[in-house]
Structure 1
């Protein structure tokens, strides 16, 4: 099967521009008929595939461009800026995201005889690699399963498990295994990231995060930046600003109320950092976001 087959299958479901949550909870699809504005969003642990068109993802100062025949794996939850760069009415952007379960990955890796990690293999928050034929075949079968809703509950977990096996043993494998290896620096940083995501509105001392990761502050900062491309404070700020944007979009809160909700004591500081992050003050940015497909609600494939 080919990448064109996957594009055809996604197109059956995503008939109009927008994001599509499917009957398989972990599977999201997207369609765009033209280039999009850069959009800040969170990439969760998962596999992203472009079946048609092209995309650019920016993580701090790292820029990744990818298209058909390539797969992108996010190994930790990351604030990124995402943009569709190749799409038109005749050849719309068609993509999909499959989020992965950390516990299932850990169990699979424990049951498999995987080779040792290369010593010079650094951890990475985003991995780009070829979409090899066995993995593509499994992805297509998962998407096609949506046409047989009566079989989804029994077959989807089996195909998802196959996809995870393919990822662990393919080009993305070393980066996944860095993440899930208990006691590894990447695993410890990932646990700190998970805690920070739940507590981003708190005034958190970075030394406290380092202690949670059982590292010295300097070692923690080094591994955190290596995995995410940013410092812990930059990561926390991006989480706050993206949550603020969503609150204003979905709950119609004003900037003052939103700033307090996400942990800012100064509204003027919030407005400055928001404008720097999103290119416009809150009120103007939210008006623009509401004009986007889907009403501007941030999705991981936008």
Structure 2
């Protein structure tokens, strides 16, 4: 086990998601193989200490592992496969993106003429894979060491997160991270629409309404939305509704009809059909897990 993996293991005392002494930083641990299945990734930075995750997104397949981190600049429904075992559990450091820190760093980089060229014109997806160079690995190791002590975590945690963001912004493929913070980029506009969707998924939402929200024509909005999320707006909304429905079924133990209404379905029968098609199990079977 590498030193980084060992430090993550000491913070991950139980299976699943473990909180740390710094808000916005968690450690995920799983000791079992997870077959390919749908889930929703939140906006954030995912750094693997041990094991491997494989992501299926539209027609793209990519891994993140101890050599490659995943930066999600917008929340996205994906399909994920987990490679882990009892002998070698997967360990993932999960870090929320602090927009205040990101904005401050980008202002400084702009002053030093370090912004990527053609940022406003280039196509931007809602994620990128970051190769863990020596600077990033050193920063992650020091952050994990600080997290071992509540005092050090409180004193050093936030500055180290800022350094990590800087190291990621210095990578050649970090344009999506810049675009998230800069106003009027395609990605920042789509992020605004996604925030609206995540607040209002239980209501009727039209593409024209979303396009108007971000001052784009419906056709341009639809095209840019798919560039960023690999889904159409309607597909994305459906996936968000179904992922939220699974949470409600498993955590709040609501009835199927109640969940269908909560996530915006008028017909419980249609909800059940689409849920089973997406998760390969009925809502009732999901609730009993």
* CA positional deviation for 1:107: 2.2
* CA positional deviation for 1:42: 2.5
* Matches of 2:79 and 2:128, distance apart in 1: 16
SS of the equivalent of 2:125 reads coil
SS of the equivalent of 1:103 reads helix
* Matches of 2:16 and 2:180, distance apart in 1: 31
Query: Equivalent of 2:39, from 35, 38, 41?
Result: 41
Give the alignment of 1:160-239 within 5 angstroms. Answer: 160-239=161-240
* Matches of 1:92 and 1:261, distance apart in 2: 36
Matched, 1:242 2:227: no
* CA positional deviation for 1:217: 0.4
Q: 1:32 — aligned with what?
A: 30
SS of the equivalent of 1:37 reads strand
Query: Equivalent of 2:86, from 85, 89, 111?
Result: 89
* Matches of 2:18 and 2:173, distance apart in 1: 26
Query: Equivalent of 2:96, from 66, 78, 99?
Result: 99
Q: CA RMSD in A?
A: 1.8
Could you report, residue by residue, the CA deviation over 1:42-96 in whole angstroms, capped at 9, with x for unpaired residues?
A: 22221111111111122333322222211111011112222212x2222221221
Equivalent residues, number: 285
Which shows bigger deviation, 126-135 or 56-65?
56-65
* Matches of 2:10 and 2:172, distance apart in 1: 29
TM-score, normalized by length of structure 1? 0.89
Q: 2:253 — aligned with what?
A: 252
- 8 Å contact from structure 1 (residues 117, 174) kept in 2: no
SS of the equivalent of 2:2 reads helix
The runs of 5 or more residues in structure 1 that have no matched partner are 291-302
Give the alignment of 1:273-284 within 5 angstroms. Answer: 273-284=274-285
Relative to 1, partners in 2 of residues 1:131 and 1:35: Cα closer, same or farther, differing over 3 Å? Answer: same
* Matches of 1:201 and 1:16, distance apart in 2: 33
Relative to 1, partners in 2 of residues 1:172 and 1:24: Cα closer, same or farther, differing over 3 Å? Answer: farther
Give the alignment of 1:95-174 within 5 angstroms. Answer: 95-112=92-109, 113=112, 114-118=114-118, 121-174=122-175
- 8 Å contact from structure 1 (residues 71, 131) kept in 2: yes
The runs of 5 or more residues in structure 2 that have no matched partner are none
Could you report, residue by residue, the CA deviation over 1:110-148 in whole angstroms, capped at 9, with x for unpaired residues?
A: 122223334684201121131111111111111111222
- 8 Å contact from structure 1 (residues 73, 172) kept in 2: no
* CA positional deviation for 1:15: 4.2
* Matches of 1:136 and 1:39, distance apart in 2: 30
* CA positional deviation for 1:269: 0.5
Matched, 1:11 2:12: no
Relative to 1, partners in 2 of residues 1:116 and 1:129: Cα closer, same or farther, differing over 3 Å? Answer: closer
Q: 1:50 — aligned with what?
A: 48
Query: Equivalent of 1:74, from 66, 72, 75?
Result: 72
Which shows bigger deviation, 35-44 or 216-225?
35-44
* CA positional deviation for 1:180: 1.8
* Matches of 1:199 and 1:153, distance apart in 2: 35
Give the alignment of 1:282-301 within 5 angstroms. Answer: 282-287=283-288, 290=289
* CA positional deviation for 1:172: 4.3
SS of the equivalent of 2:231 reads coil
- 8 Å contact from structure 2 (residues 68, 129) kept in 1: yes
